Amino acid sequence: MILDATLRRLSRASRMSARRSGAVNLLLAVCALAVATGQGACDGTALGTGLPSEGAECATCHGTEGNAAPPASLSGETSTSDPAVGVHQAHLAGGKVRSAISCSECHIVPPTVDAPGHVDESPADLTFGALATANGAQPSYDPETGKCSSIYCHGGTLAGGRLTAPAWRTGCDACHGNPPEVGGNPPKAHPRDKDCSKCHPAYVDATGSVSFAGSKHPSPTGCDACHGAPPPEPHPQSTACALCHPGTVTDEGTIDIASGLHLNGSVEASGNGPHPDGYAAPTSHGQDFLESGSQACAPCHGTALDGGKAGTSCEKCHPGFRKSCTFCHGGTDNETGAPPESVLGKTDTTVPAVGAHTSHLAASDWRAPIQCSACHQVPSEALSEGHMSGKAEVVIAPFGEADEEDGQPTAGTYNGKSCSSVYCHGASLSGGSVTSPQWTKVDGSQAACGTCHGLPPTDDHPNMDNCAMCHGCVATSDQQISPEGAAFHINGEVNMEGKGACPTE
């Protein structure tokens, strides 16, 4: 204390010279004697406070003209390997990832030189400010290790950073021994040679200078020093930071220093990335998906919607959706995926997207089972080409016996309201009263006997109403489908006694 006060009475040049010479010890002895005896200064005058005059600048005692932060320290040290100097200047100067940090983030800046608590014993007290303690950070500095920890500015409130407890001073021994005591994996005694270039020539030279670019030596800078790049889940696993942090990060991936949003005490992010608020709701992003298909999402989420540059896959929130037909439609009446519900959540059969799906796919006691593939091309998964096009395509598969004219089974059509030329509704038969049924009419009237073919059929068919006489494996004598004959009714064949199509005992 006395030494500091006495030295401050000297000019800056004299003070630095005295600190670096044995004159310091002499000054200390003289001052101590003067104070102890009350004799005043060497010329007999009373000792003053030893502080610079009122209005003196901070650089009078430390730092340089116009820049009060060390170097030089109070003792005149200028090397950044000295804790009193350290990386003051690196903090006070702006950089590629932030604006300049003010002195008040680590120290109480006194209004005057003689403010209480200012001129006291070294080292300088650390009192972390609003930015350093933002978001609940509880920063500290360990003088033994020379490292800061849990500080907001170095990722104290974030996850995934590899250097969240940085060394305050520079030099190899700030992070590890020089040389280390042990090294390698598994650990073993490290050679005692200080010339690191002998074993690590790829990133350090014989003078001890480290090259960080393109080497295995971890850099003290970089996004991943303070937080993961990207941070670990549940953060999206994308390095396209600008998608969610457009005000902080540029499209090129660099920090927008001018915006002042990086290292400002809060996370400046859009929870929906480039999307509007509420977009995470299925009624919002789901509707977009239905209208535009996967190609609208692919530029950010990948062509397979497995994350892409956005780092967020549909599977994250919708696991198994690719192979689950009921994820988008169906699941109400059965698990085939056939509506209801429709992809828009409709359940009324008067809606074409619902219609007679259930009537066709439900188990029946009078016909063979009908599969989805009879009217649609069933995709192998949700993202199969042509599936999510915004409109369900009806492609009625050719079915039944070959047509006499072209030798091909009948292939039906659908015009948005009704089906026609469909084998299942009597396209290859005669006499039916409703061979072009309405898709949204499900009262059973379009599936009654006589709607698909006459009772009996009219063209080239015997005029008799005992169906069992020729079709005993399918129908009864009273024109009903027998329980055991259901599997042979509307099965693509004419099952008739004597033609080998009916099963035998």
pLDDT per residue, tens digit, the chain (505 aa), is 444 444 444 444 444 444 444 444 444 444 444 444 455 555 555 555 555 555 567 888 899 888 889 999 988 899 988 999 999 998 988 888 888 899 999 998 988 888 888 887 778 888 999 999 999 999 999 998 899 999 999 999 999 998 899 999 888 877 788 888 886 677 788 888 888 888 888 888 888 788 777 667 777 778 888 999 889 988 888 888 888 898 899 988 899 999 989 989 888 887 677 788 788 888 888 888 877 778 788 888 888 888 888 888 888 888 999 999 999 899 999 999 999 999 888 999 999 999 999 999 998 889 888 999 999 999 999 888 888 777 788 998 887 665 555 556 767 899 999 999 999 999 888 999 999 999 999 999 999 989 999 999 988 889 988 888 888 889 998 889 998 889 889 888 888 875 545 665 5
- Nearest one of 429, 410, 412, 411 to 420, comparing CA atoms: 412
Q: What is the 3-state secondary structure (H, E, C) of 65-79?
A: CCECCCCCCCCCCCC
Taking the C-alpha atoms of residue 286 and residue 443, their distance in angstroms, rounded to an integer, is: 33
Taking the C-alpha atoms of residue 101 and residue 342, their distance in angstroms, rounded to an integer, is: 57
Taking the C-alpha atoms of residue 78 and residue 74, their distance in angstroms, rounded to an integer, is: 10
464 occurs within a structural domain: no
2 occurs within a structural domain: no
274 occurs within a structural domain: yes
289 occurs within a structural domain: yes
| List of residues 6+ apart from 394 with CB closer than 8 A | 375, 376, 414
218 occurs within a structural domain: no
Length of the chain equals 505
282 occurs within a structural domain: yes
277: containing domain: 270-319
- Nearest one of 339, 248, 344 to 289, comparing CA atoms: 344
Q: Is the Cβ–Cβ distance between 163 and 225 less than 8 Å?
A: yes
Domain count, the chain: 1
Taking the C-alpha atoms of residue 483 and residue 417, their distance in angstroms, rounded to an integer, is: 32
308 occurs within a structural domain: yes
280 occurs within a structural domain: yes
Q: Is the Cβ–Cβ distance between 453 and 422 less than 8 Å?
A: no
Q: Side chain identity at 161, as an amino acid letter? A: G
Q: Is the Cβ–Cβ distance between 197 and 206 less than 8 Å?
A: yes
